[in-house]
Amino acid sequence: MVPCKRCAPFFVFKRIHPPKTLICKGSPAQLQLYYSMDHGGIFYKIESLFFKKCKFCQDLLVKSVIENYLIETGEIMRKIFVAGNWKMNKTIAEAQDLLEAMLPQLAEIDNVEKGVAPVYLAIPSVVEQCRESGVKVGAQNVFWEASGAYTGEVAPAMVAEVCDFVIVGHSERRKYFGETDETVNKRLKAALAAGLEVIVCVGETLEENEAGLTAAVVTRQLTEGLAGITEAQAAKITIAYEPVWAIGTGLAATPEDANRVHKDVIRPLLKQQFGKLTSQQMRIQYGGSITADNAAELFAMSDIDGGLVGGASLKADSFVAIVQAASKVALEKKEL
Ligand code: 13P
């Protein structure tokens, strides 16, 4: 996208103090820009815009101001997102007990986004219990068709009726239920269209890792899994890098290795598809044997923006400790 000739001069900016005020060099106009970030997205408001341009260029202008400002100042902060994937665990009664034990402590933490993904049947009662707690509720899978004769499946609108987010492409779905990059893409598109936030899982197997294929596998999974997704839709997507060999094995990737995949493989792919600013805003969770002991070290890495937690999310003390570790890291990252 490039601005039209008439508007092009307005695209040269000088940042003055205080930093959120910008003077447009191309005209005497002054743009007061305020923005706030939450949930990985940017919301902005223009206080005063004295010069007239076409709508298209005005949007470009605002986008360009925000982009330059945030990139120049390094002010992009991704809110850490920790989600518990309960997999096929917890009856409704057990889910209630678990939440009862951890919600009071989780509710105290507001600088981390928190979520739990129970089995479908427990979702309504979990949603009820999580109300007002700031804990999001998600499903572990979703089908792409809207309705019909698909025994055993659940449609996106049905999930969206009760859930905030959905997980797609988990390696267990790929391994046991024939999930492919193509079906991940179909689920993702349908879930986004229904208004859901989506966690898209990628990750290589042990054999692929040992053969040096990590980057190639993750690149393929993301390229095909995210095919046709627009920049606007990207704001609702979190990527979870879950090396298959680390899931449920007690062998987490080292923070450095995981961060290398996030920073050097996943984020550049996101940049290629969605642009620099959006790629900087998108969260990339790590998943695979996260515990209360290794969580802080993992979350402290530059491009690890939270975690998708399996086993350790099934116990109140370990999940709370992981979210507390995330909260502490979030404070430290802010102070940097
Ligand atoms: P574990 O934390 O049990 O290794 O599971 C990770 C995972 O698969 C989360 O989706």
Q: Is residue 14 part of a domain?
A: yes
Asked, for residue 54, whether it belongs to a domain, the answer is: yes
Mark whether 265 and 310 lie in a shared domain: yes
115: which residues sit within 8 A by CB, 6+ positions away?
81, 82, 83, 84, 135, 136, 137, 138, 164, 165
H-helix or E-strand containing 272?
A: helix 267-274
With a cut of 50, say whether residue 147 has pLDDT above it.
yes
Residue with tokens 């507390």: 324
Of 13 and 168, more confident: 168
Domain co-membership, 157 together with 29: no
pTM as predicted: 0.84
Q: Report residue 24's pLDDT band, with 50, 70 and 90 as the boundaries.
A: very low
Pairwise pLDDT comparison (17 vs 70), residue with the higher score: 70
Same domain, 54 and 174: no
Task: Residue 294: give its domain's CATH number.
Answer: 3.20.20.70
Q: Is residue 281 part of a domain?
A: yes
Query: Does the pLDDT value for residue 16 go beyond 50?
Result: no
Report d(CA 319, CA 272) in Å as an integer: 34
Atom of ligand 1 nearest to the CA of 172: 8
What are 179's two structure tokens?
């999930």
Q: What separation in Å is there between the alpha carbon of 111 and the centre of ligand 1? A: 23
Judged by DSSP in three states, 134 sits in coil
289 and 179 in a common domain: yes
- What pLDDT sits at residue 306? 98
Say if 1 falls within a structural domain: no
Which pLDDT tens digit goes with each residue over 207-235?
999 999 999 999 999 999 999 999 989 98
Question: Does the pLDDT at position 13 exceed 60?
Answer: no
Over 90: is that where the pLDDT of 33 sits? Answer: no
Strand partners, 81: 113, 306
Judge contact between 41 and 27, C-beta under 8 A.
no
Q: Within 6 Å (CB) of ligand 1, which residues are found?
A: 85, 170, 242, 247-248, 287-290, 308-312
The phi, psi pair for 97, rounded to 5°, reads -65, -45
How far apart are the CA of 30 and the centre of ligand 1, in A?
A: 50
Long-range contacts of 8-14 (CB under 8 A, 24+ apart): 10/51, 10/53, 10/57, 10/61, 11/60, 11/61, 11/64, 13/64, 13/65, 13/68
Question: Do residue 104 and residue 57 come from a single domain?
Answer: no
Identify whether 250 is part of a domain. Answer: yes
pLDDT digits over 243-271, tens only? 999 999 999 999 999 999 999 999 999 99
The reply to whether 63 falls in a domain is: yes
In this prediction, what percent of the chain has a pLDDT beyond 90? 73
Query: Closest ligand 1 atom, CA of 252?
Result: 4
Residues 55, 175, single domain; the answer is no
Q: Quick check: is 130 in a domain?
A: yes
Which class for 2: exposed (0-12), middle (13-18), buried (19 or more C-beta within 10 A)?
Answer: exposed
Residue with CA at minimum distance from ligand 1 atom 5: 310
Among 73, 103, 124, give the residue marking a domain's end: 73
Q: Is 242 a catalytic residue?
A: yes
Q: How many domains is the chain partitioned into structurally?
A: 2
245: CA distance to ligand 1 center in Å?
A: 10
Mean pLDDT of 41-67: 56
The pLDDT tens digits of the residues spanning 154-168 come to 999 999 999 999 999
Which of 27, 50, 73 is where one domain is finished? Answer: 73
Q: Which residues contact 272 (CB under 8 A, 6 or more apart)?
A: none
Catalytic residue among 113, 172, 197, 242: 242
Full domain range(s) for residue 319? 81-335
Task: Report the DSSP beta bridge partners of residue 3.
Answer: none
Domain boundary among 73, 94, 116: 73
Ligand 1 pocket: which of 308, 313, 315 to mutate (most atoms within 8 A of CB) = 308
Phi (first) and psi of residue 91, to 5 degrees: -75, 175
Cα–Cα distances (Å) from 282 to 130, 238, 304, in that order, read: 25, 6, 11
Q: What is the mean pLDDT of residues 73-97?
A: 91
Do 66 and 147 fall within a single domain?
A: no
Sole residue written with tokens 């090396």: 243
Q: What pLDDT is stored for residue 320 in this prediction?
A: 98
Q: Same domain for 23 and 136?
A: no
Residue 95 and residue 52 share a domain = no
Residues, the chain, total?
A: 336
How far are the Cα atoms of 47, 288, 291, 325 from residue 299, in angstroms, in the given order?
A: 36, 13, 12, 8
Catalytic residue among 113, 170, 204, 262: 170
H or E, element range at 274: helix 267-274
- Residue 105 sits in the same domain as residue 138: yes
248 CA from centroid of ligand 1 (Å): 6
In a shared domain, residues 64 and 88: no
Q: Tell me how crowded residue 197 is: count the other CB atoms within 10 A of its CB.
A: 22
In this structure, are 100 and 66 located in the same domain?
no
Contact 112, 319 (CB under 8 A): no
Distances (CA, A) of 160 to 53, 80, 124, 165: 39, 23, 12, 8
In a domain, 2, yes or no: no
287 CA closest ligand 1 atom index: 6
